[in-house]
Chain A
Amino acid sequence: MSSTNIDRQQQTETPGCLNDRLSKIKYLGSLWLGKILISATRISGRGGTTLPGRVALKISPKLTSFLTGQLTRGSLIVTGTNGKTTTASLLTGILKNEGYRCIHNQSGSNMSWGVASALIGASSWRGKLTADFAVMEVDEGAFPAIVRDIQPLATVVTNIFRDQLDRYGEVDQIRDAIRRGLNAQPQGSFQIINADDPSLTGIEIADGLSRWTYGQESEPPETTYQNTSGDIKLCPRCHDKLDYMIIYFAHLGQYRCLRCGYKRPEPEVKLTGHTRYPDGSALLEIRLPDETLLVKYPLIGTYNVYNALAAIACAHTLAIPSATIKLSLEKAVPPFGRMELFELEGKTMIMALIKNPVGANEVLRTLLSQTGNVDILIAINDKIADGTDVSWLWDVDFELLTAIEERLSSIVVSGLRAWDMAVRLKYSCFDPKRIQVEENTAKALKHCLDQTATGKVLYLLPNYTAMLEMRHAMNQMGLGKPYWEG
């Protein structure tokens, strides 16, 4: 093995020497430009997560592989429709607690340029990257290309739901992108996928790769429901209707096909016990191949349980000790815009990103499980990063909110598509007179804060760019840190 490697090196040494030096210069040039742009965009109050990477990749498309090639351990990719940010953040937490140095695109900028920006930001001016792992949350569409660029040690795929169809056309195409990404993984690498999602388990595994799955096997919550946005209901093999024994939410659950016999694989990491506490936290009993973990897990919602299982499975394949995994999960905090908590003048703000039907429904369900009077601000933009098609709002069960209409002190809609959102609420039986519209997100935030009573909770439900606008406004009020300081 070693001799062939040496041969290859020697062959490239002589003619490639100059080339190597030239490309090193090119890397450094693009890197410096990227670093300068990061500083410049931050001075202007923006995060510097898009432009620097974009420009640097234009000059030197292989910059990402050049930088990740220096990691002592390697890269990990988290993709899928929902739960990417939380799973990547949990995984980063586990690795850091084990003493590893990690680079992580924590702002959620997850296209190739977002990955590049995070790496550029972490490297020295001489192009040196001193880190063990890069944990990258990656957009599903960008997944195949990024897998080829950074040759990950492992990939995690959380789930596939309907999301931003204006970018991908159809859910089948998202699934195809994920399949191509998984198949492009380097030999010997791991893939970790959700056993409860038939659209993932139906993807055949390529030779030379290892796969682990994770899933739930505990009792489902009392209020199990199948919302309208479950996308794959058909068997991935024979396309007959799947038979579900248990549904946790949307199309995630325990399934089998009565026609061809296809069934959910036996997960390596499974949730066998789930005790829910009134404050939203839970005691999870998680069975790994050789032991059982009991974790007091602070993040709210069934979807966050899946995120924990995904992170645990990935950490386990990297041979991280279970004690570290348990400790990290027990002190997990919600990442960027995922049920994030802010306090101001005795008022509580909870910010939860909503961006597709299944995610939004889970957020609404979590919101409904809380008691007391609430004020709600929903902000919907239709910029490119949000998806320009707002028809998904009609697949969200906003009707659920009418159940708490008496304790809903106010409801405000905002963003470029505020009026569409207002119409959506009107058709879910809200009294139109109660729906307040303020298109400007910063003004809407201020207005909502003014009308929320002291001691009460204001829920902020923005989609992606509306969230960035709101955070900017909050930073100016002295709340939270700019996200690049994480």
Chain B
Amino acid sequence: MAKINIYHLYPDHLNLYGDRGNILALCQRAHWHGIAANLIQIRPGEKIDFATCDLLFSGGGQDSDQKLVVQDLKSCRDEMRKAVEENMILFAVCGSYQLLGLYYTTARGERLTGLDLIDLYSEAGHKRMIGNALINCSLWDPPRKLVGFENHAGKTFLGPSLHPLGQVISGFGNNGSDKKEGAVYKNVIGTYLHGPLLPKNPWLTDYLLQKALLYRNQNHQLRELDDSLEQQAHDTTVRLTSSRSHKLKSSHA
């Protein structure tokens, strides 16, 4: 039986917007596809075993939690970088997405260094970008749509060679100006979209599972699943997203 190890980083600290849903989607769909998914939760101070980790998930957190996490992760940064270069799957949402980059400049001008795994940087913005978002994602050919919900004050800018996860159809995306959302490097996917993203877009969940199998050279065909409920939820969100306007909110921070 095909088997994957899913590592969930800091579930107590990085769980801001229903991030548990992403883990539920990965585990449930793995099960429905006939894959044995083993979930390992990593808490601060605990080591990630990169020899067994196939898929690493890290969610969104508040600023106070994020500082704690980045300190902790720096000790394993080199190992993580090596695994990423070897095509380990890393899915990072919101705050964790920002941590993947070079640095994050806070509203007070303080520069917090990131993990420098992919070529991006972020800076605090004055307005929060909040609302349903719809993007055209080119992980597939032809591209498929992803729906999610974004809620971030930080703005992220990608280096010239880094591909976004998708082009914004509706919403703000990385920074509200260049119409790019998220980033893809090898099997690393970073995004501001929660919602949570994976249950709302089951094809992305399956994409991650497929890549995780390939990472360990496991030959396992994903099954055809009945995704009619997910498809309906997706279509409803697309409809709602297109019909509502996007306004910037003043950040209280």
CB distance from B32 to the nearest CB of A (A): 10
Cα separation A170 to B251 with both chains bound (whole Å): 10
B253 and A422 contact, CB distance less than 8 A: no
> Chain B contacts of A169 at CB under 8 A?
128, 130, 151, 153, 249, 251-253
CB distance from A390 to the nearest CB of B (A): 8
Q: A228-B15, A426-B229, A427-B24 are in contact. Are A391 and B252 (CB under 8 A)?
A: no
A397-427 residues with Cβ-Cβ distance < 8 A to B are 416-417, 419-420, 422-424, 426-427
B230 and A423 contact, CB distance less than 8 A: yes
Q: A172-B63, A228-B15, A233-B12 are in contact. Are A394 and B21 (CB under 8 A)?
A: yes
B28-71 residues with Cβ-Cβ distance < 8 A to A are 28, 62-65, 68
Q: Which of B16, B62, B229, B236 contacts A417 (CB 8 A)?
A: B236
> Chain B contacts of A390 at CB under 8 A?
149, 195
Contact with A along B117-149 (1 / 0, CB 8 A): 000000000001011100000000000000001
Interface residue A239 (Cβ < 8 Å from any Cβ of B): yes
> What residue in chain B is nearest A391 (Cβ atoms)?
B18
Interface residue A168 (Cβ < 8 Å from any Cβ of B): yes
Interface residue B199 (Cβ < 8 Å from any Cβ of A): yes
> Chain B contacts of A420 at CB under 8 A?
200, 233, 236-237
Q: How many contacts between A and B, using CB within 8 angstroms?
A: 102
Cα separation A422 to B15 with both chains bound (whole Å): 22
A165 and B252 contact, CB distance less than 8 A: no
> Chain A contacts of B240 at CB under 8 A?
382, 416
Interface residue A234 (Cβ < 8 Å from any Cβ of B): yes
A173 and B229 contact, CB distance less than 8 A: no
B232 and A422 contact, CB distance less than 8 A: yes
A391 and B236 contact, CB distance less than 8 A: no
A242-281 residues with Cβ-Cβ distance < 8 A to B are none
Count of residues in A whose CB is under 8 Å from the partner chain: 37
Interface residue A166 (Cβ < 8 Å from any Cβ of B): yes
Cα separation A420 to B15 with both chains bound (whole Å): 19
Interface residue A295 (Cβ < 8 Å from any Cβ of B): no
> Chain B contacts of A424 at CB under 8 A?
21, 199
Interface residue A176 (Cβ < 8 Å from any Cβ of B): yes
Interface residue A392 (Cβ < 8 Å from any Cβ of B): yes
Interface residue B224 (Cβ < 8 Å from any Cβ of A): no
CB distance from B70 to the nearest CB of A (A): 14
Interface residue A171 (Cβ < 8 Å from any Cβ of B): yes
B145-204 residues with Cβ-Cβ distance < 8 A to A are 149, 151, 153, 194-196, 199-200
Interface residue B17 (Cβ < 8 Å from any Cβ of A): yes
> What residue in chain B is nearest A240 (Cβ atoms)?
B68
Interface residue B88 (Cβ < 8 Å from any Cβ of A): no
Contact with B along A416-445 (1 / 0, CB 8 A): 110110111011110010010100000000
Cα separation A438 to B7 with both chains bound (whole Å): 37
Interface residue B209 (Cβ < 8 Å from any Cβ of A): no
Interface residue A330 (Cβ < 8 Å from any Cβ of B): no
Interface residue B82 (Cβ < 8 Å from any Cβ of A): no
A172 and B195 contact, CB distance less than 8 A: no
Contact with A along B1-19 (1 / 0, CB 8 A): 0000000000110011111
B196 and A394 contact, CB distance less than 8 A: yes
Cα separation A239 to B68 with both chains bound (whole Å): 9
> Chain B contacts of A234 at CB under 8 A?
64-65
Interface residue A469 (Cβ < 8 Å from any Cβ of B): no
> Chain B contacts of A382 at CB under 8 A?
240
Which of the listed residues B12, B132, B194, B233 has the most CB atoms from chain A within 10 Å of its own CB? Answer: B233
CB distance from B12 to the nearest CB of A (A): 6
A170 and B21 contact, CB distance less than 8 A: no
> Chain B contacts of A320 at CB under 8 A?
none
B188-241 residues with Cβ-Cβ distance < 8 A to A are 194-196, 199-200, 226, 229-230, 232-233, 236-237, 240
Q: A171-B62, A382-B240 are in contact. Are A423 and B253 (CB under 8 A)?
A: no
Binding site for B on A (CB under 8 A): 165-166, 168-173, 176-177, 228, 233-234, 239, 382, 388-395, 416-417, 419-420, 422-424, 426-429, 432, 435, 437
List of 10 A-B pairs having minimum Cβ-Cβ separation, nearest first = A394-B21, A394-B18, A391-B18, A419-B233, A419-B232, A391-B17, A173-B252, A423-B233, A170-B62, A427-B24
Additional A-B contact list (5), CB under 8 Å, known A169-B251, A228-B15, A423-B233: A228-B20, A393-B18, A395-B15, A420-B200, A422-B229
Binding site for A on B (CB under 8 A): 11-12, 15-21, 24-25, 28, 62-65, 68, 128, 130-132, 149, 151, 153, 194-196, 199-200, 226, 229-230, 232-233, 236-237, 240, 244, 249, 251-253
7 contacts between A and B (CB under 8 A): A169-B128, A172-B62, A228-B15, A239-B64, A394-B19, A428-B24, A435-B229
